[in-house]
Amino acid sequence: MESHSTTALDARERADFWSEHIASYQARMDYRYARPDDFHGETVRQRSGTYQMVRFRSDAIEYNRSAQQVRQEPDEDYRLLVPLGGRLVLRQDGQEAVLTRGTGALVTFGAPFSCVQEAATPALIFTFPAREIDDPLGNKSPMATGLDLTTGLGRVVTSMLNDLHEERHHLTEPQFDAVSDRIAELLCMLVVGDERPDAPGHLTEVETVVRRHVRAHAADPGLSGTTMARALGWSLRQIQLALQRVGTTPRDLIREERLRLARDRLRCGDCEHMTITELAYATGFSSASAMSTAFRRRYGVSPREMRNGGRSSEDPR
């Protein structure tokens, strides 16, 4: 968490400082100041490796991001812009939104835009990865302008953003990320609805890709929902949604695939030289006891009994 203000600077230096300061944590933009000779502004920034939230207030200013700047400095993250007073006018993708307290807009730095801010307008800007809200298979969400943040999910999102700011001195980075995860999830529901019309078909494809990935990497002891999401370029929430539809979770799917792999190796003559402990490590389990407990619960026999010809509860004989 860090705070900055132009108050202590010479009046003639404030506009330049503001331009450099904003550019240090946002993508490249142009700035037009109503009073470049004596500009006042302040920011409070919270961030982690994934999320960022900035609460700011300043004199009148216009921000512009051009097509050339988009090409030269790509930035696919989304921003939720929420004025807490005053007025902002946002123009992007042929749309214009006049934002006042109780409204918000979803902005992408992956396309040109302009944003005119009236003097003394306090606002929040929450930055999060596009994968949190785009379709799991890469279809872009339409930009949402004029979001109603006064009722329902919108009001909950605003309350969580304000609480995140108010508790900034008491939150660790993992706690900041945990709250931000929930905010991103609610934003997805707010922007695209509880369910996309074509979501089942897409999530079925996501499930297929996830199962294929788990099958190929089950023996990796570091495999988890988080590492899987990172490898596939999706959010953990998207993977959880795809698996939830078929009644499972990333953890359960990984365990099931490791147990299947262990069962097949116990039945394979080429693996007879491996001890149970060696086989447990080779199939991604943390220990022989962890594998044995899960194996007996799943198949009704111990790994040793399976190797010695014992039948599992799934054997048809």
Three-class HEC string of 188-215: HHHHHCCCCCCHHHHHHHHHHHHHHHHH
Domain ranges of the chain: 2-192, 199-307
Q: CB-hemisphere CA count at 13 Å for 26? A: 26
Q: Which tokens hold the place of 23? A: 């550019």
Residues 44-61: tens digit of each pLDDT: 999 999 999 999 999 999
Report the distance separating Cα 241 and Cα 224, nearest Å. 15
Nearest by Cα to 238 from 205, 213, 212, 216: 205
Residues near 136 by beta carbon (within 8 Å), at least 6 away in sequence: 202, 203, 206, 234, 238, 241, 242
Q: 303 and 285 in contact (C-beta within 8 Å)?
A: no
Q: 208 and 247 in contact (C-beta within 8 Å)?
A: no
Report the distance separating Cα 157 and Cα 257, nearest Å. 38
* Identical topology for domains 2-192 and 199-307: no
Helices vs. strands in the chain: H and E counts, helices first:
11, 12
Measured at the CA of 259, the angle between CA 253 and CA 265, to 5 degrees, comes to: 140
* pLDDT value at residue 195: 44
Report the distance separating Cα 192 and Cα 141, nearest Å. 7
> What percent of the chain lies above the pLDDT cut of 70?
90
* pLDDT value at residue 168: 94
Residues near 129 by beta carbon (within 8 Å), at least 6 away in sequence: 50, 76, 77, 78, 184, 235
Residues 267-285: tens digit of each pLDDT: 888 888 999 999 999 999 9
Residues 226-267: tens digit of each pLDDT: 898 888 877 787 788 888 888 999 999 999 999 999 999 998
Q: What's the mean per-residue pLDDT of the chain?
A: 88
Given the candidates 2.60.120.10, 3.40.50.880, 1.10.3720.10, 2.30.30.100, the CATH classification of the domain at 2-192 is 2.60.120.10
Helix (H) or strand (E) holding 177: helix 173-192
Measured at the CA of 132, the angle between CA 140 and CA 218, to 5 degrees, comes to: 110
Q: Which tokens hold the place of 74? A: 């790509």
**In which residue are the tokens 């999401």 written?**
229
* pLDDT value at residue 181: 87
Architecture of the domain made up of 199-307 = Orthogonal Bundle (1.10)
